[in-house]
Chain A
Amino acid sequence: RKEVEQDPGPFNVPEGATVAFNCTYSNSASQSFFWYRQDCRKEPKLLMSVYSSGNEDGRFTAQLNRASQYISLLIRDSKLSDSATYLCVVDNNAGNMLTFGGGTRLMVKP
């Protein structure tokens, strides 16, 4: 079983749609969680950290469920520019090791 698992997609959605991604992690001692966005042939960029209480940044909402060991990302009112691969990232060692999920590819169509 992979440490961090994501549905690879692709998720094909129309503009304006709401889309949600889930990610599961296997290490119950994981401490920090992030969503990164990676455009084709580019480096990953931090989208948002995921807090236990859940957090929202504009159209993006991230939630953490420690009991079930999954995190989610919700994107509302999808834009064409949201098309990218979204990487679920888990920090298992207080800043010393990031583990990346395989990524979920999102394609937003006109």
Chain B
Amino acid sequence: GAVVSQHPSRVICKSGTSVKIECRSLDFQATTMFWYRQFPKQSLMLMATSNEGSKATYEQGVEKDKFLINHASLTLSTLTVTSAHPEDSSFYICSALTGTNYGYTFGSGTRLTVV
């Protein structure tokens, strides 16, 4: 089946530093990748949609200069949290359209803790 590999699974960083999260589609081409954020005891909130080779579309309230998304190839999308602050601590998950049977597949998530 379609697999999205997300790394790292867990990261702790100091306030003010940047963190890069990678999502790779292993056995399919992910034309579109979605990035979500989930705070404790809340549901997933869409942050942005990225299409290969074009600029990402950000949801209202999500700072595009803070959450940099790059989708340079059909198998790799990255989210960089720049100048991270403790309030950015969250669970970040990517998801891709597999293109088969109209299905989505999720990465395993990245738990970011900013100290």
Which A residues fall within an 8 A CB radius of B? 32, 41-46, 87, 95-103
With known contacts A41-B91, A43-B93, A43-B107, A95–B102 Cβ distance under 8 A = yes
What are 24 A-to-B residue pairs whose CB atoms are below 8 Å? Answer: A32-B102, A41-B91, A41-B109, A43-B93, A43-B107, A43-B108, A43-B109, A44-B44, A44-B106, A45-B106, A46-B103, A87-B44, A95-B97, A95-B102, A96-B32, A96-B49, A97-B46, A98-B95, A98-B104, A99-B46, A100-B36, A100-B43, A100-B45, A103-B43
Q: Is the interface of A mostly helix, strand, loop or mixed?
A: loop
**Residues of the B chain whose Cβ atoms lie less than 8 Å from the Cβ of A42:** 108-109
Interface residue count on the B side (C-beta < 8 Å): 21
Q: B67 contacts the other chain (Cβ, under 8 Å)?
A: no
Contact residues in B for A101 (Cβ distance below 8 Å): 43
Chain B residues near A (Cβ < 8 Å): 32, 34, 36, 42-46, 49, 91, 93, 95, 97, 102-104, 106-109, 111
A98 and B43 contacting across the interface, CB-CB below 8 Å:
no
Residues of the B chain whose Cβ atoms lie less than 8 Å from the Cβ of A32: 102
Additional A-B contacts beyond A44-B106, A97-B46 (19; CB < 8 A): A41-B91, A41-B109, A42-B109, A43-B107, A43-B109, A44-B44, A46-B104, A95-B102, A96-B49, A98-B46, A98-B95, A98-B104, A99-B46, A100-B43, A100-B44, A101-B43, A102-B42, A102-B43, A103-B43
